[in-house]
Amino acid sequence: MAELHPRPFIPFMVAAAGIGTFSLMDAVMKDLALSLGAYNAVMWRNCFGALFMGLLFFGMRQKWPPAHILKMHLWRSMIVSVMAVSFFWSLTKLPLAEALGLSFIAPVIALYLAAVMLGEKIGREAIWASLAGLGGVVIILTGRLSGHYSSGHVWGAAAVLFSAVVFAYNLILARKQAQVAGPIEIAFFQNLFVAATLSFVAPWFLQPIGVSDAPMIGGAAALAVISLLLLSWAYARAEAQILIPVEYTGFVWAALFGWLFFAEPVTVPVLLGTALIVSGSLIAARAKPEPVGQVEIATV
């Protein structure tokens, strides 16, 4: 049994750590997608992730979930499969920070999906947080998107926007999933089912990897697992409207990692927009959830 945390700042900071870890994984996956292709990068990462989490799941003698929970894991994994391949493909066409900036439309959509699908009441803090974050994105994109796009950039932007819409729905599923399953269970079945879903097209797209690729893929899988565990814990203990704006902090990490690993410049609009994004996230962190009943999950 787990209740909504009395101090929303705690699950907010845990979620922020999950986003930072996930952003580092994005940088690793961009490198893998450029060398192996987006499909192979996602497929092999989830195979490694399923192996890591399978050892943990069975080693800790986790309880096998009932059929209706397995169906939820499978459905979210199918959504994640589409989202991940489209997003990581876009990273082969766009700078890391630019792609993530475009994807920030997702938390705004998810904020209102939470009201429709989860019955959450949208507070003024959450609205102001989303507006601040979206304003930051507009500033960044105004500075970064000059209009001199190649066809590859156009397709990359389209892939990010498609992925963002799917990701918004995924955020809502994450909250519903965290109410009925523990982090280890979620991480294991998501990696397993994403790999299983992608395997249907493996005869046409899957390529073997070399020994030199294994450390990078293993590292990406480990980062993805750590991020998923952190985010699953946070989403079980705070309302989606409080945690959704934390997604905006990913841009800070994307700008840093893009600059460090891919020599992508950090401009003045990027810094100004990032300041607004962080401000919006801090507003969300200070919001107090509406009183609700207990949230039942399997804890670890």
Q: Is the dihedral of CA 175, 180, 184, 189 positive or negative?
A: negative
pLDDT of residue 285: 60
Q: How confident is the model at residue 154 (pLDDT cuts 50, 70, 90)?
A: confident
The pLDDT, as a whole number, for residue 130 is 77
For the chain, where are the E strands, in sequence order?
none
Taking only the tens place, the pLDDT of each residue in 233-284 is 887 788 777 787 787 788 888 988 999 999 988 778 778 887 887 787 667 6
Per-residue model confidence (pLDDT) at position 265:
80
Question: What is the model's pLDDT at position 145?
Answer: 62
pLDDT at position 146 is: 57
Res 2: pLDDT: 56
Q: Is residue 39's pLDDT more than 90?
A: yes
- pLDDT-derived band at 41 (thresholds 50, 70, 90) equals very high
- Quote the tokens at residue 286: 């200070």
pLDDT reported for residue 289: 45
Q: At residue 165, what is the residue type?
A: V
The tokens describing 9, both together, are 């700042």
Question: Is residue 234 within 8 Å of residue 14, measured between CB atoms?
Answer: yes
pLDDT digits (tens, 9 = 90+) for 55-95: 999 999 999 999 999 999 999 999 999 999 999 999 999 88
Q: Write down the pLDDT at residue 291.
A: 36
H or E stretch at 143: helix 124-144
| DSSP H/E element including 49 | helix 38-59
Q: In degrees to the nearest 10, what's the CA dihedral of 184, 171, 70, 206?
A: -90
Whole-number Å distance between alpha carbons of 154 and 137: 18
297's tokens:
């999950």
Residues 202-217 have a mean pLDDT of 93
**Distance of alpha carbon 300 from alpha carbon 298, whole angstroms:** 7
Q: Residues 92-148: pLDDT tens digits?
A: 998 898 888 778 777 667 767 777 776 777 777 777 877 887 888 788 777 656 555
Cα–Cα distance, 129 to 250 (Å, whole number) = 15
